[in-house]
């Protein structure tokens, strides 16, 4: 069996060595019977002129056609370039999600025929199944010309044993939630978190997020993985889902609701929340040892102009239950790492319309606010506008459901609309931290912030000053404070 990565290199080499041009490949792909079976003329009507494709052959360096991946194109279709020298395909239109780098032939097939998302297209670990399927499609259309056969792609995707254990564990926890006794216990927990007031029923919520529950005995997952799924003991221990203690192997999670971290269908980690709300707070949140390479839900935000960041897993689910799918949790205040921000930056470089604005919905405590300051700065550096949702004291997004019940979605929408600019949030935080006790101390605090305020343009200074007036529990009348702030912050 050929390693999939090596197979990709082999296919790419055969394409480059072939005598046919990239424009011939493009035309054959999009006028093939397979293209017709996928209803391409209906899916991409702008690409076709009768039964033929629209081509613009005025550029000596490349031929051009309509891009199959987006609308908003000129009548000449000049944005999508077909390079015959290196047999690559590239869209110059900023509206195109696939404009980050040239697509190879096999990547073009994966994207057009199988709708493989940009966040998976370049990662064979996530898209190996689609790669093999795309290879068979390519072989059926151009196999003779390229020297490839469908049989080359007739192989089983061999996953890492830890990946297989993660899949089986997620299925097991989720399957238990369908059992009458376990289901009652899990739904009682979810009702205690207010999820019955979101847009999903509890059954829909469990299915959508593949929520699960741990078995009553603390070694049942281990026995299931070992005896029913036939995983090796050493692999199960390496997965961290089971641990060895006092000579006995037991499950890592017990008496918990379980949330799998799911990235485009791949399970990359787990979070367990204690079912007993009155239990020891030290063990309320449990995550597997080690880091999660891909944040839970990042594939949702990479396809959105605006996105929301939350700290916790159930806060993330709550935001989505209130109607906002473009949300991602960061697994606590330190879970969003530099490589995750670099991934957002790469998407923005490909398409500046994506990930334009970030709303932080972190907990309104010291740790949450400090994390907003740190992460907000990094997002601003890559061109993302940052806004901060000011949650009521002591409440996280999930608490809104328990506090406001059916009104929670409207309350969250109001909070979102009233979100602070990053600069205003930073200044308000500093003023509140200094906690001036009299007008003289307030004046000194404002003077200390004047240099920072002058670093931004006048319009933004005026907006920040007004936000500060409205939000600070002022020690002097608001009109006097407004006049003072404009004198020291805006007009100077």
230-261: pLDDT as tens digits: 999 999 999 999 999 999 999 999 899 999 98
Can you give the pLDDT at residue 272? 92
Same domain, 138 and 187: no
Q: Are the C-beta atoms of residues 392 and 398 closer than 8 Å to each other?
A: no
Same domain, 136 and 171: no
pLDDT surpasses 60 at 75: no
Among the candidates 153, 176, 210, a domain finishes at 153
**Average pLDDT estimate for 11-18:** 89
Residue 265 lies in a domain: yes
Can you give the pLDDT at residue 293? 62
Structural domain of 100: 4-153
Q: Are the C-beta atoms of residues 446 and 488 closer than 8 Å to each other?
A: yes
Same domain, 316 and 428: yes
Mean pLDDT of the chain: 85
pLDDT one-digit tens code per residue, 104-129:
999 999 988 888 877 677 777 667 88
Residue 70 lies in a domain: yes
Same domain, 147 and 173: no
Same domain, 9 and 99: yes
**Average pLDDT estimate for 273-292:** 74
pLDDT surpasses 80 at 434: no
% of the chain with per-residue pLDDT over 90: 40
**Average pLDDT estimate for 419-431:** 85
Among the candidates 256, 287, 318, a domain finishes at 287
Ramachandran category for residue 155: left, alpha or beta (phi over 0 → left; psi -120 to 50 → alpha): beta
Among the candidates 258, 287, 316, a domain finishes at 287
Same domain, 48 and 123: yes
Instruction: State the CATH number of the domain containing residue 349.
Output: 3.40.1360.10
Same domain, 332 and 282: no
Q: In the block, which residue shows the tokens 């939630």?
A: 177
Residue 372 lies in a domain: yes
Same domain, 224 and 358: no
Q: In the block, which residue shows the tokens 């670099």?
A: 342
Q: In the block, which residue shows the tokens 């795309």?
A: 134
| Overall number of domains in the chain | 3
Same domain, 377 and 462: yes
* DSSP summary character for residue 419: P
Instruction: State the CATH number of the domain containing residue 228.
Output: 3.90.980.10
pLDDT grade for 418, boundaries at 50, 70 and 90: confident
Residue 226: closest CA among 238, 218, 236, 240: 236
Same domain, 259 and 314: no
Residue 292 lies in a domain: no
Residue 58: closest CA among 75, 78, 73, 44: 78
Residue 377 lies in a domain: yes
Can you give the pLDDT at residue 105? 92
Helix or strand (DSSP H, E) at 259: strand 256-263
| First-to-final CA distance of the chain | 72
Lowest mean pLDDT among 157-171, 263-277, 283-297, 442-456: 283-297
% of the chain with per-residue pLDDT over 70: 89
Residue 293 lies in a domain: no
Residue 302 lies in a domain: yes
Same domain, 26 and 60: yes
Residue 239: closest CA among 330, 172, 167, 297: 167
For 206, phi and psi rounded to 5 degrees?
-60, -40
Can you give the pLDDT at residue 458? 79
Q: Looking at the DSSP assignment, which residues form a beta bridge with residue 242?
A: 251
Check: pTM over 0.85? Answer yes or no.
Answer: no
Can you give the pLDDT at residue 228? 93
Can you give the pLDDT at residue 1? 42
Residue 415 lies in a domain: yes
Helix or strand (DSSP H, E) at 257: strand 256-263
**Average pLDDT estimate for 483-490:** 79
Same domain, 81 and 224: no
Can you give the pLDDT at residue 357? 95
Can you give the pLDDT at residue 204? 95
């Amino acid at each position: 069996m050929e390693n999939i990565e090596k197979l990709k290199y082999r296919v790419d080499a055969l394409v480059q060595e072939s005598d046919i041009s990239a424009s011939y490949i493009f035309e054959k792909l999009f006028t093939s019977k397979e293209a017709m079976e996928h209803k391409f003329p209906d899916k991409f009507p702008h690409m076709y002129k009768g039964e033929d494709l629209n081509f613009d052959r005025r550029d000596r360096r490349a031929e051009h056609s309509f891009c199959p991946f987006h609308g908003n194109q000129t009548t000449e279709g000049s944005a999508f370039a077909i390079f015959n020298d290196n047999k690559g395909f590239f869209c110059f239109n900023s509206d195109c999600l696939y404009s980050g780098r040239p697509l190879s032939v096999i990547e073009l097939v994966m994207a057009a025929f199988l709708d493989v998302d940009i966040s998976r297209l370049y990662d064979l670990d996530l898209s190996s199944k689609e790669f093999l399927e795309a290879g068979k499609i390519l072989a059926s259309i151009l196999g003779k010309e390229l020297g490839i056969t469908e049989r080359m792609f007739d192989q089983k995707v061999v996953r890492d044993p830890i990946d297989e254990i993660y899949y089986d564990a997620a299925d097991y926890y989720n399957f238990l939630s369908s059992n009458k006794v376990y289901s009652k216990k899990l739904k009682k927990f979810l009702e205690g978190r207010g999820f019955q007031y979101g847009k999903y029923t509890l059954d829909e919520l469990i299915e959508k997020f593949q929520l699960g529950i741990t078995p009553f005995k603390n070694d049942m997952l281990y026995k299931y993985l070992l005896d029913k799924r036939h995983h090796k003991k050493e692999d199960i221990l390496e997965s961290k889902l089971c641990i060895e203690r006092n000579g006995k192997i037991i499950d890592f999670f017990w008496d918990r609701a379980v949330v799998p971290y799911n990235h485009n269908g791949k399970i990359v980690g787990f979070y367990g929340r204690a079912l007993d709300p009155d239990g020891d707070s030290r063990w309320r949140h449990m995550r597997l040892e080690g880091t999660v390479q891909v944040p839970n839900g990042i594939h949702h935000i990479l396809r959105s102009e605006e996105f929301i960041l939350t700290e916790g897993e159930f806060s993330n689910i709550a935001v989505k239950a209130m109607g906002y799918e473009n949300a991602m949790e960061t697994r606590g205040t330190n879970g969003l790492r530099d490589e995750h921000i670099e991934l957002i930056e790469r998407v923005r470089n490909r398409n500046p319309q994506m990930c334009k604005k970030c709303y932080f919905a972190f907990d309104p405590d010291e740790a949450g606010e400090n994390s907003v300051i740190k992460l907000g700065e990094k997002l601003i550096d890559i061109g993302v506008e940052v806004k901060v949702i000011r949650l009521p004291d002591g409440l996280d997004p999930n608490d809104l459901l328990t506090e406001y019940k059916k009104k929670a979605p409207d309350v969250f929408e109001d909070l979102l609309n009233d979100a602070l600019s990053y600069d205003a949030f930073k200044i308000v935080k500093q003023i509140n931290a200094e906690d001036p006790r009299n007008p003289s101390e307030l004046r000194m605090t404002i003077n200390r912030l004047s240099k920072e305020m002058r670093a931004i343009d006048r319009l933004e200074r005026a907006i920040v000053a007004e936000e500060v007036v409205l939000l600070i529990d002022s020690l002097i009348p608001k009109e006097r404070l407004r006049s003072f702030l404009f004198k020291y912050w805006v007009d100077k």
